[in-house]
Amino acid sequence: MIKASVIGGTGYAGQELIRILMRHPEVEVVTIGTRSFSGQKFSDVYGNFESITDLVCEATDITVLAEKSDVVFLALPHGIASKTVTADVLKKTKVIDLGADFRLKDIDVYEDWYKTEHFNHPLLNEAVYGLCELHRDEIKKAQLISNPGCYTTCSILSLAPLLKNNLIDTSSIIVDAKSGVTGAGRGTITELMYSECNETIKAYKIGSHRHTPEIEQELRLLNGQDFNILFTPHLVPMNRGILALSYAKLTADLSLEEVKAIYKDFYHDEYFVRILENRMPETRWVKGTNYCDIGLTIDPRTNHVIVVGAIDNLIKGAAGQAVQNMNICFDLAEKTGIDFIADFPI
């Protein structure tokens, strides 16, 4: 059995991660780390774990967990992992970081967008970006994996075949994305209260969202060009889900069927990416799953391709992808423990 510990286990992504790991046939959860609920039973924090686990939350250190864990998951805000993950820790255990500290390879870009110092420059080169569909071979050998963000996962998977095949004008890329409120975490924030976010929709962090350079970094790797995208996120009144609409101008005269064929070829071996034929993606059909649904259309009037992507922000956008990374690292079948079908209606 793989012995797994989770630091930050009482946030939304951490709880979802523990829920998945406790059902995983090859995993034993040995520690749930959290300072906010230290000393409390995990089932007292999340009632859905009643009679399922007696684990007590601990305010523990990653150096301690490294001694007894085969893998340590970090579900923490940015700025913490770069202080705590060290080369000595990585000699003893694998680390999968759901935060942002090791996603961006350019330290200046990280510090500019996140407005905080990075405390471990050397490990940036060692960290592997954990988007499984694009970096599987590197993930297999990694000790430190930076799990991608939710907006980022949906946007990159939606656009990757177009960039890889040089089919679009890179200066024309626009990503218009919507997220459920769990994407902002479990903190007590006024604008996330029910009465504040229900019956309304709003754009936020226009032109300044921290996932922007992450999307650009990975898309640039696909075609070697230097370009910027226009990314705008929105908050919608639902618990979970990401819907990302990406727009770009085609550089070739292609039919919709030809573009779909390119996507199907690019993702032909990818179990968790579904290219839809007769409908467009909806968050309800990926809710509670590790799937990314992608739909396509072409606007012949403007010669633009429009790509619609949908994921569950807490699973393919966080915990499920983290477990997918773990499965790759430990040479397990990739869908082990995360082969969920969406519940409906819910």
**pLDDT tens per residue across span 247-280:** 999 999 999 999 999 999 999 999 999 999 999 9
The answer to whether domain 151-311 has CATH 3.30.360.10 is: yes
Give the C-alpha distances (Å, rounded to integers) separating 340 from 25, 101, 241, 345: 14, 29, 15, 15
Kindly tell me if the per-residue pLDDT of 182 is higher than 90. Answer: no
Our separate counts of H helices and E strands in the chain read: 13, 13
For 103, the token pair is 């996603």
Give the separation between CA 142 and CA 130, rounded to whole angstroms.
10
Q: Which residue has the higher pLDDT, 296 or 190?
A: 296
Q: How many CA atoms lie within 13 A of 216 on its CB side?
A: 22
Strand pairing category for 273-275 and 292-299: parallel
Q: Predicted confidence band at 101 (pLDDT cuts at 50, 70, 90)?
A: very high
**What value does the mean pLDDT take over residues 306-333?**
98
Strand pairing category for 242-249 and 174-179: antiparallel
**Ranges of CATH 3.30.360.10 domains, the chain:** 151-311
- What lies within 8 Å, CB to CB, of 64 at 6+ separation is none
Kindly tell me if the per-residue pLDDT of 195 is higher than 80. Answer: no
Q: What is the amino acid identity at position 327?
A: N
Q: What per-residue confidence (pLDDT) applies to 319?
A: 98
Q: What per-residue confidence (pLDDT) applies to 188?
A: 65
Q: Which CATH class is domain 2-147+318-329?
A: alpha beta
- Average pLDDT taken over every residue of the chain: 96
Burial class (CB in 10 A: 0-12, 13-18, 19+), 54: exposed
Give the separation between CA 166 and CA 47, rounded to whole angstroms.
50
Q: What per-residue confidence (pLDDT) applies to 346?
A: 82
**Ranges of CATH 3.40.50.720 domains, the chain:** 2-147+318-329
Kindly tell me if the per-residue pLDDT of 194 is higher than 90. Answer: no
CB atoms within 10 A of CB 140: 13
Give the separation between CA 280 and CA 92, rounded to whole angstroms.
45
What is 284-317 written as a DSSP string?
GGTTTSS-EEEEEEEETTTTEEEEEEEE-TTTTT
Kindly tell me if the per-residue pLDDT of 198 is higher than 80. Answer: yes
**What value does the mean pLDDT take over residues 12-16?**
96
Could you give the residue numbers annotated as active site?
150
